[in-house]
Structure 1
Amino acid sequence: MTPERSDPVVPTATYRLQLQPEFPFAAAATAVPYLASLGISHLHLSPVLESVPGSLHGYDVVDHARVREELGGEEGLRALARTAREHGLGLVVDIVPNHMAMAPRHNHALWEVLREGPKSPYARWFDIDWEAQGGQLLLPVLGGPLGREIDRLEVDGDVLRYYDHVFPLREGTGELPLPQLLDAQWYRPVWWRLARTELNYRRFFSISELIGVRVEDPEVFEATHGKILALLHEGVVDGMRVDHPDGLADPDTYLRRLHEASGGRWTVVEKILSDGEHLPPSWPVAGTTGYDALRHVDGLFTDPAGFGELLGQYRRFAAPQTDRGGQWEATVRRAAYKVLTHELAAETDRLTRVADRVCAASPEPALRDRAPWALRTAAQELLVRLEVYRPYASGDAAAVVTEEAAAEARHAFVVPEEAEAVDVVRDLLLGRAGDGPGQEELRTRFAQTASALRAKSVEDTAFYRYVPLLSATEVGGNPGAPALSPEEFHAYCARVQRDWPATGTVVSTHDTKRSADVRAALAVLTECPERWASLLAEVTRSGEGVPDAQVAWAAWQTVFGLGPAEPERVRQALLKHVREAGLFTSWTEQEPPYEEAVAAFVAAGPCGPPGARVAALRDELAPHIRANVLGVALVHLTMPGVPDVYQGTEAEYRALVDPDNRRPVRFPPEDAGDKGAVTAAALRLRARRPAAFGDAATYAPLTAEGPAAAHCAAFARSGEVVTAVTRLSLRLARAGGWRETRLPLPPGRWADVLAPEREFEGHARVAELFARLPVALLERVG
């Protein structure tokens, strides 16, 4: 169904709700009056389609044709939409085109594929390599090798059972002896450890429980998007957030098809832009979900000189080896090698098989006689040198798979003639080797593997190995150079307003490793690196019980950023930290003695008596943390783009990595405090003056004058609104405060939105502007 084209409704601000069985549509509806009072225009819902029973996130979809019953079903969603409309709100939904849950008993399409094999009409749905594994789909579900687990496999009528797992039997095989029965199926249950090297279906990153979907097939697109498109067409839903488009075979074509099918509805994509990378201009979307904005907002409140000092202190304290975090670029490179040869070994094998097949079938003699190992090495060496997530058909692949990368990749070969494999692979990827059979598949597999590699090696490995400043280890960030000058921030905002004025912006999400308020506190450490190093020397003087100095550094920063909290929250976050880092333990090769030592250290140190000294420093720095918290919030809510407020973050919100950041929140919060007042004021102002922030709005940096000018970041929106915030307030205090610093204002009379009786004209003394709060939001009143 193709909705009639109309002008899309562009939100002024969205509010993200994490739906789950304990917080269904009905619970969201009860929060609507409060959320409407905040000044948002749309509720932003986590995935609403049928998912695995009990799922706390909804990204494990099992049926695209039904709204999730555990949340209240389609009638519950429609009721929520009606309630929202009554209060002037719309709905934006999160959609998941890349993958489905590998849960056959709940996933009908997958069930039919397991029963009927590649001839099933659903076989085209899933990205399965039927030429591998003897034509059987590998199911990594067994707790051990088959010989040890076979007695736990049971035939029950026309199904095969293994504990809670249920699989269909191929027709006519139910009476066979078990070993022969297993051989006769279109699938093969195997030990879960074989997934790393033997898997023959595309998955979400390295998560074998999520199988890749081929939405590049028009019929699959129609089948998997029909319900969402119908909800859009009927006005139940106004817009979409697209999860993980980089996993798709062809994001360019997919987004064009979605744009046409939706009638051009407001859509943002979870595209992670590497530092300096730009969103493909041909994509028919409003922009990204906002991680690029997060990186720039955080960078504005990070001290560049102080970070350099903190990095030096980190190296002295943790003494990281090169592959354990001494240099950011080296850390990423080594993590990438590890991920390709371990977590993504199956994906690397499939890419190698495709490359070998393309070369063998090529009519070009120069491509022939290439050993599979050489093709594998060439592909790996190029992959680990990509500085972005993947190339796109609409872009210049040579700007991603660069000649510089190829030159470095050739050094992996001893024999020059074998190093030619690098040029062979690169020419195939860039379309310079003709258009022989299989080349398009090779380019697709390379791009999809590159995306998974970047996510796993950077987000899920390097960010846990390179930890001088934990606030810098967020998706899209650059932990090697996290600070930004006001000039760099303003240049980014001007570009967003010009090119992507309706893009999404965020500072906290369901996926951030630390909420914005935790990161804001951690950023203060770049203003006092010597104090932090001195404190750590004091609390770790004995060195007893420290399993790893690098983890200790991260643990102490965690409790500083989080503040007083239940020790179990910290323990769980640190356990995830060490497993993701993969240096001494991991998710699949756990080392209980090491993990127990980490837990004991956390309990006795950061969460024990020494932790009180960290808490004392945090209390001492509270005014500067407050300045960062309020500054981040106000900048986010008034900069170019459509701000997304994560649930609960209108008040002070301190959370660690998931699942900690997905805990239920109260509506309204018990005490929203100054942050709540600033948030509501900014959101209501956006609602009251949408033109000042919309597509045709303008963005103009304002430059303070005087001795402390560098500590005031300010900008005007359309000559109607002025935002001013304090940055690096601890450095400011040490330098003597604002003194006679002034902020020139655009023409007109300006009222303080939080205190309308206060007015300014011409210019404002910054000390007066920030007399009540370290931030100010002004509205032109004359």
Structure 2
Amino acid sequence: MKIPISTYRIQFHSGFNFEAAYAIAHYLAALGISDLYASPIFKARAGSTHGYDVVDPTQINPEVGTPKQFDSLVNTLQHHQIGWLQDIVPNHMAYDSTNQYLMDVLENGPDSEAIEFFDIEWNHAYDSFKGRVLAPLLGDLYGNCLENGEIQLTYDEAGLHVNYHSLKLPVRIESYVRFITTHLGQLTKALGRKHPDFIKLLGSLYLIKSIPAETKGRERSDQIAFVKGLLWELYSQNTEIKNLFDANVISFNGIVNDPESFNLLDSLLSEQFYRLSSWKVGAEEINYRRFFTVNELISVKVETSKVFHKTHALIEQWIKDGKITGLRVDHIDGLYHPAEYLERLREKVGDVYITVEKILELQEQMPDDWQTEGTSGYEFLNYLNGVFCQSQHESDFQTVYTRFTGARASYEQLVADNKHLIIDKNLGGDVDNLAQRLKSLSGQTRQGVDFTAYGLKRSLSEVLALFPVYRTYVASNQLSEVDQGYIQSAIASAKERIPRLINELNYIEKILLRQDEDLLTEVQKEERLHFVMKFQQLTGPLMAKGVEDTTLYIYNRLLSLNEVGGNPSHFGITLAQFHDFNRKKCNRWLHSMNASATHDTKRGEDVRARLNVLSEIPSEWEEQVQRWAEINQAKKQQIKGKSIPDRNDEYFLYQTLVGAFPFAEADTIAFRDRIKDYIIKAIREAKVHTAWLQPDSTYEDSYLGFIDKLLDFEAKNEFLHVFRPFQKQIAAYGIFNSLSQVLLKNTAPGVPDLYQGCELWDLSLVDPDNRRPVDYARRQTYLQEIQAGIESDFLSLIKDLLATKEEGRIKLFLTYQVLQARQNYPMLFQQGDYQPLEVSGRFADHIVAFARTFEGQVAITIAPRFLTPVIQPDQLPLDHSIWQDTQINLPSAMSENWTNIITTQSLSAKTAIKLGDALKQFPGALLISQN
């Protein structure tokens, strides 16, 4: 197995394709990257910017390149000893016209060759769904779209299709009879019944009527293709038949302002294996599993053997050919049986590096038996970020937040409330489907026969809203103690909130815990297990939407903690917790990824590094925000007695400006537009004053106007005059947090992952802001300058980098140095154990220090933090004059001679390393023992 030394995440799309990656291959190699970590490169929906909307996993996305270009890129990377870690998407595909598997299902229904592909509830309780798939892809109500002429029937060589803007859906073959026989009498008169082409047309109708009863799957598809070919031949060669078809198309498409004229098309649509509807319907009624709440992403039944092998065939071939050396599995929690999936995947691809996207709560552990090397690193990100938040100031910071905003709801209460909101507004249909399953189960026993549909759904909703983790992994009648504990915790909390439904909750608990099944038939036991596994597939999306995409935009106490997989109610991570996390990682998940920024993070890693500085100075922070609010009060618009934005949104904005304000003045105008785009997304996600489902233009426009006034760089601006000096101070301290973050990420146990472009300052916000083009020419020039400086005059280079910190070259330099160390000492960083080191002296709490040891070789990491009481904003945290008596106390068995890999300086220390010596030239140290 090739374990990556380091990975570099690339977001492939039409604007950054294989050729663009080819152009930076040498740069990645020079930087010290061992593996390119690629976003999905399978054929996706046209114009996809991320690749997760796959339409065909058996083909390369033509927008990113050809198979030949892929091979050329892989060969070039391999020439530089760079492997390929591929992100794969087993959970879902795009609900799109170019998804031929789905189109086959929509055309042929139960007789489709791809009928097993998608997670569809064909036997839905609602008659309008039964035997049909909802297609909630219309921008307005179905009736409005139909009568406005937006839904149109077309005919071409591929057959009949229903079109709605770019959406093109097939028409089932049985409906061709309705289409062809409309006005058929006119054709009879024109050609006569004995005309060969008329006879052929009648023969086609006979074939259509006989197909459903005779054939399924591939044979059916072949016969349909034959009939379509015959009809197209008749259409192309006989003018009268062409006129009939063209006239029928016009008749079916109706006339705007004449509702009755759309009856033909409405009747034809009612016959299809899909039901077109407004996109909003999907929030409350749905009969297919989606990715979270995204109607345009339909979930795949990868648990089915045929589907698994079909969707993984190209991946398997690439691995056999040696083109890719590792896999990252997207959204593992969405799968029906994650453990079984990973077992199948391991069997298919063999001994290759596999990591999974898995969100873990604080102290939560991934199932120990999973066939994977670890996660894609969100838990590491939150531990790393949290260690720079000063926990002892939590009470003061809470007071600041409450006093400014008036917000008093606890984080836990907000999470529960917002998960209920998502159940009501976004996942109502999904919960309703699950509740219907529960109602069916309850009727099988005398204990549950009297439970009402309302009581069961209300109880189920409460359990879902209070579920403490993304999901459990019950797949048999054997439960782990961990899963049992999560289920019992949710049920107990639900009983406190809705005690009148205690009987229903007890019943749900027994089902989830697989209890009281002795008197059930095997079929009933299987139905119960199926319910449990569908329940588990729903808790994750609910957690993601209720927490990540709602609560994290409302609970704004300290935004650096509002991150994917994070829990901002935990005000930072203690040093002991950080060390304990890394020690445990060595025991089981040694090769899990270490992320600090991803394509999904809420804000850039250096934005978080800045905002963490605020946790050190709550009093000064309060003084500043109160002053800004006074200055800006007159800039707010008053609507119906309320100021816009409200105080919580205003507090959110101030933190965002402090964290993301660019170093370069030239970037400020673009920054204003970026902030405005970001704020609209943030307040819609918050769902307090506006939302994606129902935007409030008055609130949004007023908020944008407020931002325009705050960030008016052309006029005299009192706010900016006061804001900028404070923001620059925070940014100055944030730089040192960022450098320490780089050092810790690259030397702690795990595989460090570098998100595209983050080798310089990452002051981006949530997507799409964090997917803007990366200036690689600039980075390559900087790296060449750094390499030249290292060769010619190392100390002068470091002084220059420190003097020009705002350019970001200092971050690139540190990244380069630690990656070179990982390349030179691969076993030390890949296999080394983890030992926290004791720090003593005046600033002991301001240092993170640990050792990695492997076969007598030792690396010591020394990273500063909490620097506001240590240095002034214009000072550097260097030398004895700053660190005074602070020192790292060494275990007796360690070496006396060390080399700082970052600066190349040598140190001698028998029992302790003085911070002033280790941090003499650079604000961080990586010491390697010299035996």
Question: Does residue 241 of the first structure (1) align with residue 328 of the second (2)?
Answer: yes
Please identify, of 772-781 and 158-167, the stretch whose mean Cα deviation from structure 2 is larger.
Answer: 772-781
Give 2:174's aligned residue: 172
1:16 counterpart SS class: strand
Q: Give the aligned residue type for 1:210.
A: L
Deviation (angstroms), 1:48: 0.9
Question: Does residue 293 of the first structure (1) align with residue 391 of the second (2)?
Answer: no
Q: 1:447 aligns with which of 526, 536, 541?
A: 536
Q: Within 5 Å, which residues of 2 pair with 1:170-569?
A: 170-174=172-176, 175-176=178-179, 177-322=264-409, 327-360=410-443, 362=444, 364-393=445-474, 395-396=480-481, 398-413=483-498, 415=500, 418-434=501-517, 436=524, 437-542=526-631, 543-544=633-634, 545=636, 546-564=644-662, 565=668, 566-569=671-674
Deviation (angstroms), 1:50: 0.4
Aligned partners of 2:320, 2:908: CA distance in 1, in Å? 47
> CA contact under 8 A between 2:4 and 2:35: conserved in structure 1?
yes
> CA contact under 8 A between 1:391 and 1:400: conserved in structure 2?
no
Deviation (angstroms), 1:595: 0.3
> CA contact under 8 A between 2:336 and 2:533: conserved in structure 1?
yes
Give 2:11's aligned residue: 18
Give a deviation string over 1:509-551, Cα, whole Å, max 9, x none.
1111111111000000001111111111111105231421101
Give 2:109's aligned residue: 117
Give a deviation string over 1:85-112, Cα, whole Å, max 9, x none.
0111110010001100000x21000000
Q: 2:757 aligns with which of 648, 658, 661?
A: 648
> CA contact under 8 A between 2:903 and 2:921: conserved in structure 1?
no
Aligned partners of 1:400, 1:599: CA distance in 2, in Å? 46
> CA contact under 8 A between 1:354 and 1:441: conserved in structure 2?
no
Please identify, of 610-619 and 372-381, the stretch whose mean Cα deviation from structure 2 is larger.
Answer: 610-619
Deviation (angstroms), 1:781: 2.3
Write 1 or 2 for the structure with the bigger share of helix: 2
Question: Does residue 728 of the first structure (1) align with residue 726 of the second (2)?
Answer: no
Number of equivalenced pairs: 765
Deviation (angstroms), 1:136: 1.4
Deviation (angstroms), 1:413: 4.5
Higher relative contact order (CA 8 A, sep 6+): 1
Aligned partners of 1:703, 1:412: CA distance in 2, in Å? 46
Aligned partners of 2:432, 2:266: CA distance in 1, in Å? 28
Give 2:916's aligned residue: 767
Q: Give the aligned residue type for 1:393.
A: V
Aligned partners of 1:563, 1:147: CA distance in 2, in Å? 47
Pick closer, same or farther for the CA change 1:750–1:413 going to 2, 3 Å: closer
Question: Does residue 136 of the first structure (1) align with residue 221 of the second (2)?
Answer: no
2:343 counterpart SS class: helix
Deviation (angstroms), 1:605: 2.1
Aligned partners of 1:173, 1:753: CA distance in 2, in Å? 73
Deviation (angstroms), 1:759: 2.4
Deviation (angstroms), 1:170: 0.7
Give a deviation string over 1:289-322, Cα, whole Å, max 9, x none.
0000001111111101233322210111011252
Give 1:663's aligned residue: 772
Aligned partners of 1:625, 1:509: CA distance in 2, in Å? 19
Aligned partners of 1:71, 1:405: CA distance in 2, in Å? 45
2:596 counterpart SS class: coil
Deviation (angstroms), 1:606: 5.3
Pick closer, same or farther for the CA change 1:71–1:400 going to 2, 3 Å: farther
> CA contact under 8 A between 1:556 and 1:606: conserved in structure 2?
no
Pick closer, same or farther for the CA change 1:274–1:335 going to 2, 3 Å: same
> CA contact under 8 A between 1:357 and 1:438: conserved in structure 2?
no
Aligned partners of 2:482, 2:539: CA distance in 1, in Å? 13
Deviation (angstroms), 1:375: 1.2
Give a deviation string over 1:121-164, Cα, whole Å, max 9, x none.
21210001111213211111222222212132211121111222
Question: Does residue 581 of the first structure (1) align with residue 686 of the second (2)?
Answer: yes
CA RMSD of aligned residues (A): 1.7
> CA contact under 8 A between 1:304 and 1:484: conserved in structure 2?
yes
Question: Does residue 777 of the first structure (1) align with residue 915 of the second (2)?
Answer: no
Aligned partners of 1:100, 1:370: CA distance in 2, in Å? 37
Aligned partners of 1:373, 1:538: CA distance in 2, in Å? 51
> CA contact under 8 A between 2:764 and 2:770: conserved in structure 1?
yes
> CA contact under 8 A between 1:14 and 1:642: conserved in structure 2?
yes
Stretches of structure 1 lacking an aligned partner (at least 5 in a row): 1-7
Q: 2:739 aligns with which of 627, 630, 645?
A: 630
Give a deviation string over 1:617-648, Cα, whole Å, max 9, x none.
12223442121010011100110000111111
> CA contact under 8 A between 1:387 and 1:400: conserved in structure 2?
no
Aligned partners of 2:731, 2:290: CA distance in 1, in Å? 44
Q: Give the aligned residue type for 1:698.
A: D
Deviation (angstroms), 1:613: 2.7
Give a deviation string over 1:671-725, Cα, whole Å, max 9, x none.
5521111111111111111110123x21111111212111111111114211101
Q: 1:31 aligns with which of 24, 27, 40?
A: 24
Give 2:728's aligned residue: 619
Give a deviation string over 1:403-460, Cα, whole Å, max 9, x none.
3432332345464xx5211111111111113162511221111111101111111110
Give 1:66's aligned residue: 59
Pick closer, same or farther for the CA change 1:414–1:525 going to 2, 3 Å: closer
Aligned partners of 1:779, 1:491: CA distance in 2, in Å? 23
Give 1:748's aligned residue: 896
> CA contact under 8 A between 2:487 and 2:512: conserved in structure 1?
no
Taking only the aligned residue pairs, the percentage that are identical comes to: 32
Q: Give the aligned residue type for 2:914.
A: R
Aligned partners of 2:621, 2:711: CA distance in 1, in Å? 14
> CA contact under 8 A between 1:51 and 1:63: conserved in structure 2?
yes
2:830 counterpart SS class: coil
Aligned partners of 1:117, 1:433: CA distance in 2, in Å? 38
1:366 counterpart SS class: coil
Q: Give the aligned residue type for 1:743.
A: I
> CA contact under 8 A between 2:898 and 2:927: conserved in structure 1?
yes
Aligned partners of 2:393, 2:408: CA distance in 1, in Å? 22
Q: Give the aligned residue type for 1:146.
A: Y
Aligned partners of 2:395, 2:607: CA distance in 1, in Å? 21
> CA contact under 8 A between 1:68 and 1:74: conserved in structure 2?
no
Please identify, of 745-754 and 559-568, the stretch whose mean Cα deviation from structure 2 is larger.
Answer: 745-754
Question: Does residue 49 of the first structure (1) align with residue 42 of the second (2)?
Answer: yes
Deviation (angstroms), 1:553: 0.6
Stretches of structure 2 lacking an aligned partner (at least 5 in a row): 180-263, 637-643, 663-667, 783-807
Q: Give the aligned residue type for 2:495.
A: R
Structure with the greater alpha carbon radius of gyration: 2
Give 1:4's aligned residue: none
Give a deviation string over 1:169-216, Cα, whole Å, max 9, x none.
010313442121011100111122111111111000001010000000
Give a deviation string over 1:541-575, Cα, whole Å, max 9, x none.
05231421101111111111012342011111111
Give a deviation string over 1:365-408, Cα, whole Å, max 9, x none.
22322211111112111111111001102644753544343233
Deviation (angstroms), 1:779: 1.6
Give a deviation string over 1:245-298, Cα, whole Å, max 9, x none.
111111111111111111031011000001110011010100000000001111
Q: Within 5 Å, which residues of 2 pair with 1:88-99?
A: 88-99=81-92
2:153 counterpart SS class: strand
> CA contact under 8 A between 1:25 and 1:71: conserved in structure 2?
yes
Aligned partners of 2:481, 2:888: CA distance in 1, in Å? 44
Aligned partners of 2:482, 2:276: CA distance in 1, in Å? 39
Aligned partners of 1:525, 1:512: CA distance in 2, in Å? 20
